[in-house]
Amino acid sequence: MTEETLEALMVKVVDGTATPAEREALMAHLADHPDLQKELEMHQSLKAITDGWVRRLELDLLEDEHRTRTLPRLWTRLGLTLLLVGTALLVGGGTVELFLDPEVPLWARLGTVGLEAGSLILLAAVGLRRFQTAKHDRYTEVIR
């Protein structure tokens, strides 16, 4: 078997386009040349890697298409807005009621204030950091 024929058969077998006769011919040749079996395995592992890349690119394209549609963005923004408003109402209203009720112990009031203040500080720190790095992000033009 010539080297060109062997390479063509390996490519066909790795790609899954070889006929049963071609596959059998390659396997018979590899039985006589076990050192070529490692080359076939290397081609198969390389094919698995590139197939993974292709699948990842396909998924990225689907994600990009989804992100550019108006309706999903609208639903996401509406959902986040309702979530934030509901959280603000529950936390704010709960805090007001907590401080208006004279039977609530001092430790519960102070603990609630500490919890809410810490949450706001952490949220503000993350938001500020994202705002500061948005203009200097080296990876904004990287295509996934």
For 37-92, write each residue's pLDDT tens digit. 888 899 999 999 999 999 998 988 888 887 788 888 899 899 999 999 999 999 89
Asked if residue 8 is part of any domain, the answer here is yes
Both 119 and 94 in a single domain? yes
Both 78 and 125 in a single domain? yes
Both 74 and 56 in a single domain? no
Both 19 and 39 in a single domain? yes
Domain count, the chain: 2
Q: How far apart (Å, rounded) are the C-alpha atoms in residues 71 and 56? A: 24
Both 52 and 9 in a single domain? yes
Q: What is the extent of the structural domain holding 118?
A: 70-134
Smallest CA-to-CA distance from 124 within 132, 135, 136, 134 is with: 132
Both 77 and 107 in a single domain? yes
Both 75 and 93 in a single domain? yes
Asked if residue 49 is part of any domain, the answer here is yes
Per-residue pLDDT band for 126 (boundaries 50, 70, 90) equals very high
H helices present in the chain, as ranges:
3-15, 20-32, 34-68, 70-100, 106-134
Asked if residue 128 is part of any domain, the answer here is yes
Q: What is the pLDDT of residue 144?
A: 58
